[in-house]
Structures are given as C-alpha cells and as structure tokens.
Copies of this chain bind each other. A is one copy, B any other.
Amino acid sequence: MLVRGLRRATVIDTACELFAERGYRGTSMKDIAETLGVRAPSLYNHVLSKQDILFAIMDKAMDRALDAQEAALGGVAGPADQLRAATESLVLDFLRFPAEVTVCNTEVRSLDPVNRAAIVAKRDRYAGRVRAIIADGCRAGRFETAHPDLAAFAVLEMGNGAKSWFRPSGRYPDTYVAREYGAFALRMVGCRTQM
C-alpha cells in the first residue's frame, strides 16, 4: 500500500513543527517520516539531507519576516510610527509562525558554517533596521533612553514572551496583542509624543 502525494513543502513544514518541539538534534529523520506516515529513506526523494531541511525552514522564515518588516515600514514616517510598525510586524510574525520563529531562535547553532553565515546575515539585517529606528529617534530627540542599542535588544527579545504565552484560540486576536507590544516598545524607549 503506497502512500503518495508527499511534497517537499510538506516534509519541511512537518519537520519544522518537530524541530520546534524537540529540537533539531532531538528529532530524527525517522520521527519526521513517521509523522508523515512514511519510512525515513523516502524523505530523501524530496530533500537532500537533514541539514537541507533545517536551512530551508530558516531561510524561508527569514525572508518572510524581512518582507513583512519592509512592507510594514513602507510609507510610515517618523521614528515613533516606525518603531510601532516594526514592533507590531515582529510580534505578528512571532504569533503567526511560532514554530518557524522558534527554530530560527534556537537552531542557529545546528547550521553548517556556510548556512549559518547566510542566516545570520539576514538576522542582522532584520535587527539592524530596528536598531537604526531607535537610534534615529534618539538623535531626533523623540526618544529618550540612555543606551539605544540596549533598548533595541530588549524590543527584539520581547516578542518571545508573547510567543510562549499566546494561543490562537484565546480571547484576543494576534493584531491586538501586537498593538500592545507596539505600545510597550514606545514606552520602553521613552517616546515623548506618542503612547
């Protein structure tokens, strides 16, 4: 009895859930295959290697996050609105793709050196934009915080709290939670004019 119709995207999505739950090294190819109702060797018809799966997950997730951030910032002017938009985009990404984000946050060390360099570059680009917004706001006198970089790290990390807490079935929609965190970020940097 053959099971047909397995797709590369399905393998990667399933692996992502398992990696997020048990970690990359804590998940075997057999685990992934069993979840899909298939034997482990069959996976190699769709992916090159286990490492290939990990990189595909993280590369796709980073591209999605970067695109969302860019879209959120497009046409938004002023440090306050920009920081709010960037934070909301960040938190929304965390809430909507918790497994992908968990893998990105915890499995950088499991990447090959070459793959790691590629992902870290994208991550730095993402974080760099947030840092730049806060630095601009401080220079313009709109924010008031002693150490902008320190605040940037705090903002970037904040979303993890939301991820571990948020359940889609809960009483608040993700956009609502994202707005709360946008407000947290503005308060944290000591924004003068907006709340």
Q: A interface vs B, CB < 8 Å?
A: 21-23, 25-26, 106, 109-110, 146-147, 149-151, 153-158, 160-162, 164-165, 177, 180-181, 184, 187-188, 190
Partner of A162, one of B22, B109, B153, B184: B153
Task: Note all chain B residues with C-beta closer than 8 A to A146.
Answer: 180
Check A151 against B23 for contact (C-beta < 8 Å).
Answer: no
Check B158 against A154 for contact (C-beta < 8 Å).
Answer: yes
A26-B109, A106-B106, A190-B187 are known contacts. Are A160 and B162 too (CB-CB below 8 A)? Answer: no
Task: Note all chain B residues with C-beta closer than 8 A to A181.
Answer: 154
Check B154 against A184 for contact (C-beta < 8 Å).
Answer: yes
Task: Note all chain B residues with C-beta closer than 8 A to A109.
Answer: 21-23, 26
Q: How far is the CB of A5 from chain B (nearest CB, A)?
A: 31
Partner of A187, one of B23, B180, B187: B187
Task: Note all chain B residues with C-beta closer than 8 A to A157.
Answer: 157-158, 160-161, 164
Task: Note all chain B residues with C-beta closer than 8 A to A165.
Answer: 149-150, 153
Partner of A156, one of B26, B156, B161, B187: B161
- The closest CB in chain B to the CB of A106 belongs to B106
Ranked nearest first, the 7 interchain pairs of A and B with the lowest CB-CB distance are A153-B161, A157-B161, A25-B25, A154-B161, A157-B160, A153-B165, A187-B187
CA separation between A21 and B161, bound complex, in Å? 22
CA separation between A25 and B28, bound complex, in Å? 12
Check B110 against A26 for contact (C-beta < 8 Å).
Answer: yes
Check B25 against A180 for contact (C-beta < 8 Å).
Answer: no
Partner of A184, one of B21, B164, B188: B188
CA separation between A109 and B150, bound complex, in Å? 29
CA separation between A188 and B155, bound complex, in Å? 11
Check A164 against B153 for contact (C-beta < 8 Å).
Answer: yes
- The closest CB in chain B to the CB of A185 belongs to B188
